Amino acid sequence: MFAATAFGRILVENDTPTAIANALLSMTDSLALIWLVVILFLILIGMFMETLATIMIVTPVLLPVMVQFGVDPIHFGVVLVCCCEIGFSTPPLGENMFISSSIAKVTIEEISVKALPFVLVEIAVVFLMSYFPETVLWLPSMMGY
């Protein structure tokens, strides 16, 4: 955690979020396409890194970028955690797969194939949450945020 925190701080101090925002803006100014790139990146990172380390490294870099595009920080946080969860359930790291296979006493391959439909549904839900922010923000708005 210390290494992840230090690395995230170094990225912020070297103005990496601005460089990423400029790179994304040079590709497109469409928020839908930006969400697509960010979600795919987060799921890919989540496949290879532990969830807490991913959050510690990615949040200081991507949060300012997404806020610059007009995304609510709570909305981004929910999508970030959901993407990390999908990565946590997907091989090659897929720690949830290892735990599930040991509990069910089946091989990783068997459980991975059976989990694939659930992962696809989770990915669809993340895209719905990102493109329709009111699905995520209705509860905070009810609480006065």
Q: Which two tokens stand for residue 8?
A: 């995230």
Mean pLDDT of the chain: 85
Going by C-beta distance under 8 Å and a sequence separation of 6 or more, which residues neighbour residue 59? 8, 77, 80
Give pTM, 2 decimals.
0.83
pLDDT score of 69 more than 90: no
pLDDT tens-digit map of 97-118: 888 888 989 888 888 888 889 9
CA distance 94 to 21: 30
At 4 the pLDDT is 64
At 95 the pLDDT is 76
Helix (H), strand (E), coil (C) string for 22-73: HHHHHHCCCHHHHHHHHHHHHHHHHHHCCHHHHHHHHHHHHHHHHHHCCCCH
pLDDT score of 62 more than 90: no
User: Percentage of the chain with pLDDT > 90?
Assistant: 30
pLDDT score of 92 more than 80: no
Domain range summary for the chain, segments of one domain joined by +: 2-133
pLDDT tens-digit map of 2-52: 676 676 677 777 777 677 777 777 887 788 999 999 999 899 888 888 888
Which string of b and e fits 119-128 if b means at least 16 CB within 10 Å? beebbeebee
pLDDT score of 96 more than 90: no
In terms of Cα–Cα distance, which of 85, 84, 90, 64 is closest to 11? 64
